[in-house]
């Protein structure tokens, strides 16, 4: 895959899609950080914090903790108890409480999330390409997103933030530890959607809307080849059948 300069303010233009004025997005909220170059998690966190106002973020995971070195905003690291901490905090502040947690912590808190009626915006950053998406299971407004589609991501973050009650956004955040050059993070994220491994959609009132259809549909083997990950032919076939079933199910919803 051709190495490219990693653009933070990634934009795409699609017919009937509102074009955001990215010049108005805040810059001063971040200083330097100690995150790995090309970290999709950091791109997601930047986009989140620069797109919204009047919030407190409760984070979970070592990556988010490392990022706090350069953040000049209300930011609390509560580890694996981030969601429980956020529930208590949401009842004692007039600011919107946002949880920013990885897929591991999210899975551990899944039963509580599925029952939640708290006024919390939960953002799950996912850097496991084989993670099973959870958005379709969640109460309230829910969506999947990707750092590859900047405007779609910003739109969903703003929509989730504006809702009363619980809302959920699940973001694909590739990491160079997958086996690619740091400058290719956005391209890898886009390829994951084109391979149907990461469908991009939102759920409102139990109705699913696909918000970003792949420009072209690729076989899952294309992504693993780009990542130089050794995976058997039988695993590839099983995974391909699984993503095909999921994609058909989403389109029928």
Convert the pLDDT of each residue in 92-108 to its tens digit.
888 899 999 999 999 99
Ordered by where they begin, the domains of the chain are 22-252 (3.40.50.970)
What pLDDT does 50 receive?
85
Q: Which residues of the chain have pLDDT under 50?
A: 1-25
- Cα atoms in the 13 Å half-sphere on the side-chain side of 1: 23
d(CA 232, CA 9): 36
CB 170 within 8 A of CB 133: yes
d(CA 101, CA 81): 10
CB 182 within 8 A of CB 193: no
What pLDDT does 13 receive?
33
d(CA 82, CA 149): 27
Give helix then strand counts, H and E, for the chain: 9, 8
3-state secondary structure of 59: strand
Q: Could you tell me where the DSSP H helices lie in 5-98?
A: 40-51, 62-67, 82-90
Cα–chain center distance at 157: 10
d(CA 91, CA 207): 30
Q: What are phi and psi of 183, to 5 degrees?
A: -75, -10
Identify the DSSP state of 71.
Answer: B
What pLDDT does 110 receive?
94
What pLDDT does 129 receive?
86
């Amino acid at each position: 895959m051709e190495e490219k300069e990693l653009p933070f303010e990634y934009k795409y233009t699609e017919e009937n899609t509102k074009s955001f004025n990215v010049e108005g997005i805040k810059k001063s909220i971040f200083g330097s950080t100690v995150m790995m170059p090309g970290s999709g998690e950091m791109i997601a966190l930047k986009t989140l914090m620069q797109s919204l106002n009047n919030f407190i973020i409760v984070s979970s995971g070592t990556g988010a903790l490392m990022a706090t070195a350069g953040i000049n905003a209300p930011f609390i690291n509560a580890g694996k108890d981030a969601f429980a901490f956020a529930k208590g905090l949401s009842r004692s502040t007039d600011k919107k409480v946002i949880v920013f947690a990885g897929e591991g912590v999210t899975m551990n808190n899944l039963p509580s999330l599925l029952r939640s009626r708290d006024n919390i915006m939960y953002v799950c950053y996912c850097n496991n390409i084989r993670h099973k998406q959870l958005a379709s299971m969640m109460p309230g407004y829910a969506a999947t997103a990707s750092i590859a589609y900047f405007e779609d991501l910003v739109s969903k973050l703003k929509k989730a933030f504006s809702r009363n009650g619980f809302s959920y956004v699940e973001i694909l955040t590739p990491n160079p530890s997958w086996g690619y050059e740091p400058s290719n993070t956005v391209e890898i994220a886009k390829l994951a959607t084109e391979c149907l491994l990461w469908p991009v959609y939102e759920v409102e009132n139990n109705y699913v809307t696909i918000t970003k259809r792949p420009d072209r549909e690729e076989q899952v083997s294309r992504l693993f080849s780009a990542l130089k990950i050794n995976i058997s032919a039988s695993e590839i076939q099983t995974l391909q059948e699984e993503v095909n079933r999921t994609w058909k199910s989403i389109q029928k919803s």
